Amino acid sequence: MPVLECAVHWAAPADEPGMRALLDDGERDRYERFLRAEDKARFVTGRFLARTALAEVTGLDPGAIRFTTDCPHCGGTHGKPRLPGAGVDFSLSHSGDRVVLVLAEGAEVGVDVERESDRDIDRLAEMVLTAPERATLAAMADRKRGFHRYWSRKEALLKATGHGLAAPMTAIRVSGPDEPAEVLAWDGEAAVSPVRLADLTPGSGYAAAAAVLTGRPLKITEVTC
Ligand SMILES: CC(C)(COP(=O)(O)OP(=O)(O)OC[C@H]1O[C@@H](n2cnc3c(N)ncnc32)[C@H](O)[C@@H]1OP(=O)(O)O)[C@@H](O)C(=O)NCCC(=O)NCCS
């Protein structure tokens, strides 16, 4: 089976005039509504990364790229951003000092990066992990790292389908944090098969994963912009 090329672009949040200039009217409104400078920077950097990478792949002018964000549940405009007709799917995520874009031709993709935080892991694990996953996590020396790895893998899957956190993470069972990323079981309305999962390398203090709705083996290339 031929490999599926999956490009991962990492960037640090920035908020430069040349980046803002590419936003469309709706994005500019959203940008203005963010109260915190860091939220503005993460948003504008993500959309800039997406436009520049998609322009390279499609030959489109980055300033002419318009994303759709239709929500399949309610018809609102807060769904997965897409570029219809391009034959390329992409996914964005941002957390702390990291912004990441994943992009592939011919398959739906999802990405998630999470800054490791001192959240109440035991409480969150009840909401996010299956019983076998909770048992694996309980036996880990670094539970914070393990939990965020589980979370990023599951969120990447749900972002690939476009469900986001509207679908339950407990319907997905993935391999242990120290094992190669793999979906072991998935049920419910969001479930998709075949699917490939891969851990990314966001650097210390972060967890990140990419999901691709394909049975083909992945070739992942990570670059920092
Ligand atoms: C998508 C979602 C998981 C993102 O959560 P997060 O951890 O806060 O944020 P991340 O940084 O990882 O990802 C945000 C990016 O995901 C993308 N995104 C938004 N909605 C998405 C969706 N449904 N599926 C996939 N990607 C989505 C966007 O690019 C967004 O960043 P941007 O708007 O700055 O470009 C969360 O917002 C969510 O679950 N949304 C859907 C909720 C929903 O549909 N509810 C039902 C309403 S009727």
Across 2-10, average pLDDT: 97
Please enumerate, as own/partner, the contacts of 79-83 that have beta carbons within 8 Å and a separation of 24 or more.
79/162, 80/159, 80/162, 80/164, 81/50, 83/54, 83/58
For residue 119, the model assigns a pLDDT of 87
For residue 72, the model assigns a pLDDT of 78
Pocket test for ligand 1, best of 89, 92, 128 (most atoms within 8 A of CB): 92
For residue 55, the model assigns a pLDDT of 97
Q: Which residues contact 66 (CB under 8 A, 6 or more apart)?
A: 24, 83
DSSP state of 34: -
The tens digit of pLDDT for each residue in 27-52 reads 999 999 999 999 999 999 999 999 99
For residue 169, the model assigns a pLDDT of 98
Residue 165 CA, closest ligand 1 atom number: 39
Across 125-136, average pLDDT: 98
Lowest mean pLDDT among 67-81, 94-108, 164-178, 209-223: 67-81
Model confidence at 73: pLDDT above 80: no
Across 132-147, average pLDDT: 97
For residue 118, the model assigns a pLDDT of 86
Backbone angles phi, psi at 76, to 5 degrees: -70, -175
Contact 114 CB / ligand 1 (< 6 Å):
no
CA dist 181 and 156 (Å) reads 12
pLDDT > 90 in the chain, percent: 95
* Cis geometry, peptide bond prior to residue 2 (ω within 30 degrees of 0): no
Contact 93 CB / ligand 1 (< 6 Å):
yes
Using 50, 70 and 90 to split pLDDT, how confident is the model at 76? confident
Residue 30 CA, closest ligand 1 atom number: 33
For residue 159, the model assigns a pLDDT of 97
153 C-alpha vs ligand 1 centroid, how far in Å?
Answer: 15
Across 92-111, average pLDDT: 98
According to CATH, the topology of domain 4-224 is Ribosomal Protein L22; Chain A (3.90.470)
Provide the CA 188 distance to its chain's centre, in angstroms.
20
92 C-alpha vs ligand 1 centroid, how far in Å?
Answer: 9
Residue 47 CA, closest ligand 1 atom number: 35
> Could you tell me which of 110, 209, 112 has the C-alpha nearest to residue 159?
110
Using 50, 70 and 90 to split pLDDT, how confident is the model at 222? very high
Q: CB–CB of 144/105 below 8 Å?
A: no
Model confidence at 5: pLDDT above 90: yes
164 C-alpha vs ligand 1 centroid, how far in Å?
Answer: 6
Model confidence at 104: pLDDT above 90: yes
In 86-128, the DSSP E strands lie at 88-95, 98-105, 109-115
Contact 164 CB / ligand 1 (< 6 Å):
yes
Pocket test for ligand 1, best of 80, 89, 157 (most atoms within 8 A of CB): 80
For residue 183, the model assigns a pLDDT of 98
Domain coordinates of the chain in residue numbers?
Answer: 4-224
Residue-averaged pLDDT of the chain: 96
